[in-house]
């Protein structure tokens, strides 16, 4: 099940391929800050991600201040980090640099 | 100048027409939480606002979690609340209900 919590081993392995992401202090989410040239580029990124989020039915928690987008990914129904969060992080890295 | 700080009187008058907005504790920004039906509606709102923000060259600080959008408006160059923030708040109220 894609919303099943990852084991510590699975999580460690997944994050080794996502070096820009950190585990938040609760251990229940991953976080990354993306920096773009300007608001246009930052919001363009958010728009592309929004469509992926709808398709996956898995939505980021995110904030935007001008050229910066801070993203937190967690799976609420499982209260932690699942394969879906890793999948979304991979998509974000691909589209957000 | 649209980025000039509002006087306390001007601010009080402007906010009387914006009852859903609060002044944050620093006194240097206004804030509102918008709640929508779902992510699609929340992000649709953000997209429409993004275009206004670019046109006005005045960008919100905002965060989104599924159907919720929390917005903070401030004028960094003036370190406080200006006419542009009120203008943006009025646009947001019009488009966000």
Q: Domains, chain A, ranges and CATH?
A: 8-96 (3.30.1360.20)
**What are the tens digits of pLDDT across the range B72-83?**
999 999 999 999
Which alpha helices (DSSP H) does A7-96 contain, by range? Answer: 8-16, 39-56, 83-96
List residues of chain B with CB under 8 Å from any CB of chain A: 39-40, 43, 46-47, 50, 53-54, 59, 61-66
pTM summary value = 0.96
In angstroms, the separation between the Cα of residue B59 and the nearest Cα of chain A is 6
In angstroms, the separation between the Cα of residue B57 and the nearest Cα of chain A is 10
List residues of chain A with CB under 8 Å from any CB of chain B: 39-40, 43, 46-47, 50, 53-54, 59, 61-66
Low-confidence ranges of chain A (pLDDT < 50): none
Q: Which pLDDT score, from 0 to 100, does residue A97 have?
A: 85
Predicted confidence band of residue B97 (pLDDT cuts 50, 70, 90): confident
**What are the tens digits of pLDDT across the range B9-65?**
999 999 999 999 999 999 999 999 999 999 999 999 999 999 999 999 999 999 999
Residue B68 has pLDDT above 70, yes or no: yes
In angstroms, the separation between the Cα of residue A61 and the nearest Cα of chain B is 5
Q: Which pLDDT score, from 0 to 100, does residue B1 have?
A: 64
- In angstroms, rounded to a whole number, what is the distance separating the alpha carbons of residues B36 and B95? 11
Strand pairing category for A68-73 and B22-23: unpaired
Burial of A9 (0-12, 13-18, 19+ CB in 10 A): exposed
Chain A / chain B CB contacts < 8 angstroms: 35
Q: Which pLDDT score, from 0 to 100, does residue A54 have?
A: 97
């Amino acid at each position: 099940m894609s919303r099943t919590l990852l084991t510590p081993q699975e999580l460690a392995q997944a994050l080794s391929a996502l070096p820009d992401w950190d585990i938040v202090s609760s251990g229940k989410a991953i976080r990354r800050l993306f920096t773009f040239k300007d608001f246009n580029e930052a919001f363009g990124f958010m728009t592309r991600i929004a469509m992926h989020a709808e398709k996956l039915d898995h939505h980021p928690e995110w904030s935007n201040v001008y050229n910066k987008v801070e993203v937190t990914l967690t799976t609420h129904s499982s209260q932690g980090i699942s394969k879906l969060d890793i999948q979304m992080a991979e998509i974000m890295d691909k589209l957000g640099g």
